[in-house]
Homo-oligomer: A and B are copies of this chain.
């Protein structure tokens, strides 16, 4: 048998996640139809499904049962998508394009976009509780996962990072530590959580979970720096969203703070740190290792 390449792995996991999302989200025709249509538009707009895939790959790394983790991987994508829909709103980052398509509020209006985000976030928690009741994982472990994800996505995590990001716009000076803090909350917390959840539900030992946490932290930061570099260097046609937008808004990023060259080196260093965190694992963590390399090499 030909060994599965990373590309095949990505495509297969993405298809599984999409199928799960497809099966659990109400049909576009379910009342209120307009809302469900808009939720599906936001969710199936061509995302890479990085967070669910990291979650499933972490489950693989501890030789866990991937099917038991799948609903939680899908919930991660629901949370990620809701955050994009809200971040794109005129009152926030005011982005017209995302993944090469008009953003949800451009197509369905602001009121609907706000409600789409609210509904996706709510569905994420409903989905996890549902999976817990289906019995593939112990209920107590599922509650631990729900609490962890609420922490990572809430006011001390992702939402807090987005707040600090918006609040820092146009400020004349930020320490590198503050930029790091915004990045970790805004992007890092959910990515770390994705990796941890895959490990926890997959049955990781405490030592394995510590290693996965360090991996997740490093990959999250590497990813965010790479994303900011794309905003500086990328082309709209490649990234599917407006470039140079961060600078225009006076956003604080690694490239702005320490320069593009140093930022790229930092992202590479984080990628290496992620790989070295996986030393306790054998080839079962190869996918995680490959993803750590990939996130800093991507062009979109």
Taking Cβ atoms with an 8 Å cutoff, the residues of A that contact B are 26, 30-32, 34-36, 39, 82-83, 86, 89, 91-92, 109-112, 114-115, 117-119, 121-123, 125-130, 132-133, 138-140, 142-144, 146-147, 150-151, 153-156, 159-160, 162-164, 166-167
Contact = CB atoms under 8 A, between A and B. Distances in A.
A115 B35 contact: no
A42 B128 CA distance: 28
A30 B156 CA distance: 8
A191 B147 CA distance: 24
Contacts of A139: 138-140, 142-143
Contact of A114 (B39, B89, B151): B89
Given A32-B167, A86-B114, 11 more contacts: A31-B156, A32-B163, A36-B155, A92-B114, A112-B163, A115-B166, A119-B159, A119-B160, A121-B122, A122-B155, A126-B150
A34 B167 contact: yes
Contacts of A164: 31-32
Given A32-B164, A143-B139, A144-B133, A154 B119 contact: yes
B159 A146 contact: no
13 contacts: A32-B163, A82-B118, A86-B118, A92-B111, A119-B160, A122-B159, A123-B155, A125-B150, A126-B147, A126-B154, A128-B146, A133-B143, A139-B139
A143 B144 contact: no
